[in-house]
Amino acid sequence: MKSKYIFIGAGFANLSAINYLLDNEINDIVLFEKGKTISERNCPGIDDSECVKCNTCDVVCGFGGSNALFGNKLCYFPASSDILKYFHQDAIISSFDYMSNKLGLYFDENKIKTLDNDPNKKHYFSEPFKKKEFSELVNLLKYDITNSDIDIIHKEVKDIKKTKSDMFCLTTKNGDVYKSKNAIIGTGRSGNKFLETSLKNFNIPYLDNKPDVGIRIEMNKSNYNQNYLYQVDPKFKFKVPELGIARTFCAHNQGTITPVKFGKAFYADGAFLNNFSNTNNIALMSRINTPYNKLKLENWCYDINKYFNNSLLIKTLNLNTINLDELPNIITGSIPYWPNRKYRKLINFLSSKMFKDDRYKIIKNNLKGKLRIYGPAIDKYWIKPEIKSNLSTRVNNLYIIGDAAGISRGFIQSMFSGVAWASQKIKYNNKSNKYNNINLTKEKEIWSVSE
């Protein structure tokens, strides 16, 4: 089978790009997605805080991409705004306009702005959606695709190569072959292994990003004070010389904890269900100054899983019976050993900031109920390919968009990358080298907002 465009992965980036192409009367498209539709996705281990090791993890695979199974948040720019550097101002503005028209109530262009200048606090608008609401958003992006002439192939792509005739040749796990003039990889961070193999096949350089490693804590929402609740998605970030970065991450206020498969292991992540809960969970994360080996990280997660009898819940504390001054040491010590001693030091530093420093203290003085600690928690490993403007690569007509590009992360950011890529692809029709002449270092000329 031959087509003009082949998209690998049905996450927000590819779904948005295909929508834009369809709205411009381009439908010679094949979409590959190895996972299930959003209505078929399910996590059988969430109620017991454990992973049952499904062959394909529905939490990270399927229509909508990673974590679309549950309710989630749309974090507006300037969150993860590095993706904006790869497009010019006209593409940015037109893409936001398109997203606003396409998504309606799901996207508010007026919320793209900065709020404060505190270097240790990230400020941006973030809107949480319950599971049903988020499914509706995924289905909105999927609707025109499933009601078009586009071929949706529910198979896993084994590899991608380029033929002598300048066509991309994709082979599925069962041996089927598809050819296309353009290939767009939008596999997200969960498609790291496929992406890494593909980059090696095409001799495209890439860097290993530095993973975040840590734990998740969960308490009744009444125990948190305004230092924590200064925005819907509170994030604190501290640079520690000679160690790395300590930060809070991906809070799910009134949410829950879900297991995520990671090779032979699994880790804890946050999510929303069909109703908001009475508990808030947030990740306490550490990132050391050097990349950490992916296999070692997976093995560490496996060992921690085994140590706690394959349960994500590793400790429960009665808050009214503990000395709060000892809480940072208790939290850090809840993991028997860390992949690197620097991770432990950073988690201890962050815990001290969050529970003892009055400037950033996230809890009230009179705590009630229980504090639950879940682990391990990681920011799933992904790589950073060499990317040019419009998310192109050194291989003609090969593009990497969304979280797979390793530039930024988030559902809005992925949608933007898909729309902006498609609009520029249509505009230039791949007939000029204008992209390669764009000076991507002049950030202020491209976009006026920075983190």
Got the DSSP string for 270-312? EEB-SS--SEEEEEEEEEESS---HHHHHHHHHHHHHHTTT-S
Locate 200 and state its tokens: 């090696």
Confidence tier at 222 by pLDDT (50, 70, 90): very high
Residue 8 has pLDDT above 90, yes or no: yes
pLDDT tens sequence across 245-280: 999 999 999 999 999 999 999 999 999 999 999 999
Percent of the chain having pLDDT more than 90? Answer: 84
Give the number of C-alpha atoms closer than 13 A to the C-alpha of residue 10, restricted to the C-beta side.
31
Structure confidence at residue 117 (pLDDT): 67
Confidence tier at 121 by pLDDT (50, 70, 90): confident
The C-alpha angle with vertex 375 and arms to 275 and 239, in degrees rounded to 5, equals 100
Q: Measuring CA to CA, which residue among 413, 395, 427, 440 is closest to residue 184?
A: 395
Residue 90 DSSP label: H
Locate 301 and state its tokens: 């997660």
Burial (CB count <10 Å: 0-12, 13-18, 19+), residue 396: exposed
Count of other CB atoms within 10 angstroms of residue 209: 17
Give me the mean pLDDT over the 49-69 stretch: 95
Contact at 8 Å (CB) between 376 and 215? yes
Residue 159 has pLDDT above 70, yes or no: yes
Residue 33 has pLDDT above 80, yes or no: yes
Percent of the chain having pLDDT more than 70? Answer: 94
Confidence tier at 113 by pLDDT (50, 70, 90): confident
pTM exceeds 0.75, yes or no? yes
168-174 long-range Cβ contacts below 8 angstroms, 24+ apart: 168/6, 168/397, 168/398, 170/6, 170/8, 170/32, 172/32
Locate 110 and state its tokens: 């007026």
Burial (CB count <10 Å: 0-12, 13-18, 19+), residue 12: buried
Q: In 255-409, at which residue ranges do the beta strands (DSSP E only) sit?
A: 256-262, 265-271, 279-288, 313-318, 370-378, 383-385, 398-400
Domain ranges in the chain? 2-117+126-208+382-446, 213-378
β-pairing, 121-122 with 235-240?
Answer: antiparallel
Confidence tier at 445 by pLDDT (50, 70, 90): very low
**How far is residue 440's CA from residue 435's CA, in Å, rounded to a whole number?**
10
User: CATH code for 2-117+126-208+382-446?
Assistant: 3.50.50.60
**How far is residue 309's CA from residue 311's CA, in Å, rounded to a whole number?**
6
